[in-house]
Each structure stands twice: as structure tokens, then as C-alpha cells.
Structure 1
Amino acid sequence: MAEDSVLQAVLATVREVAPGAEVSEDAQLISRRIIDSLSLLSLVALLEEQFSVTVRDSEILPAHFETPLAIRAFLKSKGC
């Protein structure tokens, strides 16, 4: 998947777990409380399914999930 399509998929997935939230590629998801701990787990599950990756518990770090761009970078590190 090209980076832009990965980012678009990440944005769509974040919007799915945070309906009604305005989400841009650099939106501060955790610090602005767009996603909370439960929606983060839902987001991880959806990303695992969508991108056929496994996210270990030790990889669920704020740095990996703070923004859609950070999520894209994290997914890229996993081969997406």
C-alpha cells in the first residue's frame, strides 16, 4: 500500500473509532482525548485486521498512536 493510501486508511479507521471527531493527519489523538484507552484498543484491533499486522502489547505506546502520521510511521515500520 502506498504511504498516502495507508494514511487515508488510518484516518478512516480513526474516524470509525472516534465518530464525530475532526481528525486531520496531525491531530493529537491521545493528548486531545480524541481517543481514549478503550478506543485505542479498538483502533489497534481494526488496524491489525486491515493491515494484516500484529501489534504487541509492548508496542502500544503513545508515541506510536499520538497522530495519524505517527500511526502511519508505525505501520511502515511493520512493513505496510
Structure 2
Amino acid sequence: MSEDSVLKAVLAAVREVAPSAEVSEDSPLIATRTIDSLSLLSLVALLEKEFSVTIRDSELLPVHFETPLAIRAFLRTKGC
């Protein structure tokens, strides 16, 4: 999957769990509370399904989910 398509899928997943938020690739998700603890779990489930990866509890760090670009970078470490 190309980086562009990974980013598009990440943006779609974020928009699914936070439908009322306007989200771009560099939107702060945690600092603005676009993503809270409950929606983070939903987002993780969507990402695991979309990319066929497992995200361990120890990987649920704010740095990995700060922005859609940060999520894409994190997914890159998973081979996506």
C-alpha cells in the first residue's frame, strides 16, 4: 500500500470515529480531544482491521496518535 493510500485510509478511520471533526493530515487529534480514550479504542480496532495488524497495549502511546501523519508513521513500523 502506498503512503498516500495509507494516509487516506487513516483519515477515513479518524473521520469514522470522530464524524463531526474536521480532520486533515496534520490535525492534532489528542491535544484537541478529537480523539478521546474511547474513540482511540475504536480507531485502533478500525486500523487493525483495515491494515491486518495487531496494535499492542504497549503501543498505545500519544506520540503514535497525535496526528494522522503520526499514525501513518506508526503504521509504517508495522509494515504498512
Q: TM-score range by the shorter chain?
A: over 0.9
Distance in structure 1 (CA, Å) of the matches to 2:6 and 2:65: 14
The unaligned stretches of length 5 or more in structure 1 are none
Q: Does 1:14 align with 2:14?
A: yes
The alpha carbon displacement at 1:73 in A equals: 0.3
> Where do residues 50-61 of structure 1 align in structure 2 (5 Å cutoff)?
50-61=50-61
1:74 aligns to what? 74
Q: Distance in 2 between matches of 1:59 and 1:50?
A: 17
How many pairs align?
A: 80
TM-score (norm 1): 0.99
Q: Which residue of 2 aligns with 1:26?
A: 26
In the aligned structure 1, how far is the partner of 2:46 from the partner of 2:5?
A: 16
CA displacement, residues 25-72 of structure 1 (integer Å, 9 cap, x when unaligned) = 000000100010000000000000000000000000000001000000
Q: 2:62, 2:70 → 1: CA distance?
A: 9
How far is 1:20 from its partner? 1.4
Runs of 4+ in 1 over 4 A off after TM superposition: none
Secondary structure, in 3 states, of the residue corresponding to 1:22? coil
Unmatched 5+ stretches in structure 2? none
Q: Percent identity?
A: 80
Root-mean-square deviation over aligned CA pairs: 0.4
